[in-house]
Amino acid sequence: MINQPNNTVFIGKVAFHLSSVDSTNKYAQELISKTNPIEGTVIRAEEQFGGRGQFGSEWKTKPGENITISIILCPKFLLVKHQFYLSAAIALGVYDFINELYPSAALSIKWPNDMYIGDKKVAGLLIENILRGIYLDKTIVGIGININQAVFDPNLPNPTSLYLETQKKFEINDLLFQLYAHLERQYFRLKKGSFYEILKDYQKCLFRINLLKKYKLSDGSLINAQIIGVEENGRLLVKHEEIIRSFDLKEISVIF
Ligand code: BTN
């Protein structure tokens, strides 16, 4: 464990920098179950040998080339029914960070919280909430951002990295506090209750917002439709033949 000097209020004040771990999210879970980590504690790994992605998938990246971290937050002020705003705020923090590094990128947030440059995925989030009654208690924010990796597992559908997009290599140590500062800014907006503003910003950044594109529904059918936004519970709003429907995860997928 190291105490680092930094420009943030609470994220990264305490950080565990591990050379290798199964998953930083899992490590964070264990830390929470055994100790009482302070809010903003970061677990960073050079290598994950059991990195977790959404829906039980794996998150496989090359050791030392990318950002793979988990941050422990304590959003005790947030009602469970408002948890999507936390997910949106975190997504915006990561979006702002990538946008600062690479302002000309065709960057977007693919619902609910993947980061895309054009049609390629550059980062993913795995947000795990621990609830206490009607409020959130703790949240583990797992963040994987592809930074310097040049070659990816051919089985991954559409990965990219900042290196592949910009032809520039980045010094990961220098980037982390930039990322934490952006996350903190969005988290403070959430804490202030700026839900409407967060949702508005999130919608502005949505992948393919308002474009007529092909989507696949869970029954296998294909529709030409437009993503027009999200509901406050996080369901995706899609307009199809002048009718607006809302979808949950797994009920709709993008066709590339
Ligand atoms: C996804 O897009 O499927 C989510 C990927 C999340 C990956 C990060 S890497 C750091 C943290 N630890 C994990 O095991 N997963 C998250």
- Residue among 206, 211, 198, 250 nearest 229 (CA): 206
Closest atom of ligand 1 to 114 CA is 2
Write down the CATH number for the domain with range 212-254: 2.30.30
Domain locations in the chain as residue ranges: 2-204, 212-254
59 lines ligand 1 (CB under 6 A): yes
Q: What's the pLDDT score for residue 3?
A: 46
Atom 11 of ligand 1, residue of closest alpha carbon: 142
Question: Which positions ≥6 away from 30 have C-beta within 8 Å?
Answer: none
| Model pTM score | 0.96
- To test the ligand 1 pocket, which listed residue (59, 153, 160, 161) has its Cβ within 8 A of the most ligand atoms? 59
- Residue among 187, 224, 227, 189 nearest 207 (CA): 227
Atom 2 of ligand 1, residue of closest alpha carbon: 124
217 Cα–ligand 1 center, Å: 25
Contact 105, 162 (CB under 8 A): no
CA distance 209 to 211: 6
Contact 244, 228 (CB under 8 A): yes
Closest atom of ligand 1 to 45 CA is 10
Q: What's the pLDDT score for residue 198?
A: 98
What class, spelled out in words, does domain 2-204 have in CATH?
alpha beta
Which stretches of the chain score pLDDT less than 70? 1-5
